[in-house]
Amino acid sequence: MMNTNLHTRKDQSTAEGAGGQASYGRFKQSGVDTTHGAILYLESISVIFDGFKALNDLSLDIGVGELRCIIGPNGAGKTTMMDVITGKTKPTSGSAYFGQSIDLTKMHEAQIADVGIGRKFQRPTVFEQHTVFENLELAMKMNKRVRPTLFARLTGTQKDKIAETLELLRLTQEYQRPAGLLSHGQKQWLEIGMLLMQEPLLLLLDEPVAGMTDAETERTGELLNDLRGKHSLMVVEHDMDFVNQIAQDGKVTVLCEGSVLAEGTMAQVQNDERVIEVYLGR
């Protein structure tokens, strides 16, 4: 399943410009079939650790280009959900599809990253010994197998792309610094930048503003709003002001005890009795 998808994608890139294949070719171009408007489907996912239900019959889908905020009290299963999507944890039952046809539960982390799901961790994880530039270079979308990596040379367009991303992250001045020397906020941005370099279709962001100053939080909000529409985003966050800033009229999903408690605009969710009870009212 997985392999056929990768192959069609590769074949497609070589067949490009050769005419032929017509509409079929365009339809498979990204390797992800989003004809039904959704990029991610989670269908009755359960994850049980030693009898504890981290996720309990969770169903959720994310539309193409949507920015979805996920909120919920501690232990609601937000991080576990991301683990399932990115292949770190296998669900006990249920299914997870990327587009119409890619079964995420059968793939491992690198394959999932390769089909276009990028993830930012709660704690910023960048390669501290590598420079900012090298971090972005490593993340850049390209063939990431051994031989092409050994002989890889940066092309002009690739350098431009890194320069653009540096600009967007406001890290141009720091591009030669080891990433370990950046401030906490800058590391978070660098990690978001690394995700962008992967050109993912779906970005998962786990508490992107945790530990940031107000100014940094504001700036991150702007950054995410820039990305709205270009990528599909799923943002897990505790900071309500920040969720307000980025959710706008988009949907917010409230998780509780491993399943969806409520879904709607921020205003709707904030007025939902059950939500107030378990989360906001506290």
Partner 1 sequence: MNSLSNNLQPRSMGPLFSAKAWTAIILVTAVFACLPILNLSFAPGHTLHISAYTIGLIGKFTCYAMAALALDLVWGYAGILSLGHGLFFALGGYGMGMYLMRAGKSSPDIVPDFMTFLSWKAYPWFWSFTEHFWYAMLLVLLVPGLLAFIFGYFAFRSRIKGVYFSIITQALTFAAMLLFFRNETGFGGNNGFTDFKRILGFDITSPQTRAALYWLSLGALLAALILGRAITQSKLGRVLTAIRDAESRLRFLGYEPLGFKLFVWTVSAMICGVAGALYVPQVGIINPGEMSTENSIEMVIWVATGGRGTLIGPIVGAGVINGLKTWFTSALPEFWLYALGLIFVLVTLFLPQGIVGLIRRLGRREKALS
Binding site for partner 1 (CB under 8 A): 86, 108-110, 113-114, 118-119, 121, 125-131, 133-134, 137-139, 144-146, 149-152, 154, 156, 159-160, 162-164, 166-167, 172, 175-176, 194, 198
41 versus 121: smaller Cβ distance to partner 1: 121
How far is 183 from 191, CA to CA, in rounded Å?
12
Q: For the sheet containing 202-206, what is the strand order?
A: 117-120, 202-206, 232-236, 67-71, 252-256, 259-264
CB nearer to partner 1: give 205 or 275: 205
CA angle 70, 239, 38 (to 5 degrees): 20
Shortest reach from residue 53's CB to partner 1, in Å: 25
- Nearer to partner 1 by Cβ, of 124 and 221: the residue is 124
- Sign for the pseudo-dihedral over CA of 44, 49, 50, 51: negative
Closest CB to partner 1 among residues 26, 108: 108
Q: At what angle do helices 214-227 and 184-197 cross, to 10 degrees?
A: 10
- Smaller CB separation from partner 1, 123 or 230: 123
Q: Tell me how far, at minimum, the Cβ of 32 lies from partner 1, in Å.
A: 15
Minimum CB separation of residue 84 from partner 1 in Å reads: 14
The dihedrals phi and psi of 244, each to the nearest 5 degrees, come to: -55, -40
To partner 1, the closest distance from the beta carbon of 152 in angstroms equals 4
User: CA 53 → CA 60, 77, 193, 259, 260, distances in Å?
Assistant: 17, 9, 34, 10, 14
Smallest Cα–Cα separation from 76: which of 224, 237, 202? 237
Smallest distance from partner 1 to CB 150, Å? 4
Residue with Cβ nearer partner 1 (54 or 139): 139
For residue 104, the minimal CB distance to partner 1 (Å) is 13
* C-beta separation of 140 from 161 below 8 A: yes
